[in-house]
Amino acid sequence: MLLCSELLAILYCKQRAAIERDYGQALQKLASGFLSKKELACALSTDEEYTNGYSIWRVWRTLLEESNNLALSRIRAGDAQQRLHNELKPLKLQRISVSKRVFEQLRILQGDLAACVQEMAKSHKVYAEEEKQAQETRMKAMATEEKIRRRSSNLFHSMAQLHRNYEKLLIRRQVYDSRSATARNEYLFQLAAINAHLKHYFNKDLPTLAKMKEFRCLERPPDFANTVISIPESLSD
């Protein structure tokens, strides 16, 4: 991505600027020193050996002048690299600042999501317990009903007592069935809520945070590109 290239280029631009500037200044010092020598001026002033303008001294002066021009272009390139570094450095700081805000919002969203998962887990546990009690009561009621149907009693349980126990079991089963149904509905509601929350989290929240992070950090690429383009132009001037 462009953003990664920009951030990785910060150190390169800083070192490249120093190299270009040092090289340009050293070359300029060298060329200027030779151009300012009296021997060259004297040789050029007394040079009448060649009339076509291609004496060794004129060629030497041209070489020194072009070296001086190259030195100036290198210094300009170093300045351009330094400007590029100066533009990228605050971009990195901006990216860090934006990342902190984005990750803070992400932490809050994930906290809400974790809370929903915990609520769903609690509701599932309650539903499992209520359904277990309801199922046990149903089995007892069915067993008692089967005894009544077969008129199966013993010395300790008369038919009247079986009927009384059966009526109590029916009432208890109704209560447990109602509680189990309520717990099941609550669990299904929590399950639907967590599914909706997850869908919104992955389809809306995460893309929005990613776009916000990239948009704020990529507001400077036009300036960045213009500065990069200006570097070869400074070498050709």
Q: Which comes out higher in pLDDT, residue 215 or 202?
A: 202
Reported as a pLDDT band with limits 50, 70 and 90, residue 44 is low
Percent of the chain with pLDDT over 70: 78
Q: Which comes out higher in pLDDT, residue 198 or 9?
A: 198
**Rg of the chain, C-alpha, whole Å:** 43
Check pLDDT > 90 for residue 38: no
Q: Which comes out higher in pLDDT, residue 218 or 189?
A: 189
Say which DSSP state 220 is in.
S
pLDDT score at 124: 94
Please report which helix (H) or strand (E) contains residue 60, including its range: helix 56-150
Percent of the chain with pLDDT over 90: 35
Check pLDDT > 50 for residue 197: yes
pLDDT score at 192: 93
Q: Could you give the CA distance from residue 233 to residue 22 in angstroms, rounded to a whole number? A: 19
Number of independent structural domains in the chain: 1
pLDDT score at 22: 92
pLDDT score at 107: 92
Q: Which comes out higher in pLDDT, residue 49 or 133?
A: 133
pLDDT score at 2: 43
- Structural domain boundaries enclosing 132: 2-236
Under 8 Å between Cβ of 159 and 151 = yes
Reported as a pLDDT band with limits 50, 70 and 90, residue 155 is very low
Q: Could you give the CA distance from residue 96 to residue 234 in angstroms, rounded to a whole number? A: 32
pLDDT score at 185: 95
Q: What is the CATH number of the domain that holds 49?
A: 1.20.1270.60
**What is the per-residue pLDDT across 58-116, written as a single tens digit (0 to 9) for each?**
778 888 989 999 999 999 988 888 887 787 777 777 777 888 888 899 999 999 999 99
**What is the per-residue pLDDT across 1-30, written as a single tens digit (0 to 9) for each?**
445 555 556 777 788 888 999 999 999 999
Q: Could you give the CA distance from residue 192 to residue 174 in angstroms, rounded to a whole number? A: 27
pLDDT score at 57: 76
Q: Could you give the CA distance from residue 136 to residue 164 in angstroms, rounded to a whole number? A: 18
Q: Maximum Cα–Cα distance for the chain, whole Å?
A: 148
pTM of the model: 0.53
112-129 burial, b if ≥16 CB within 10 A, otherwise e?
ebeebeebbeebbebbee
Closest of 138, 22, 144, 125 to residue 74, by C-alpha: 22
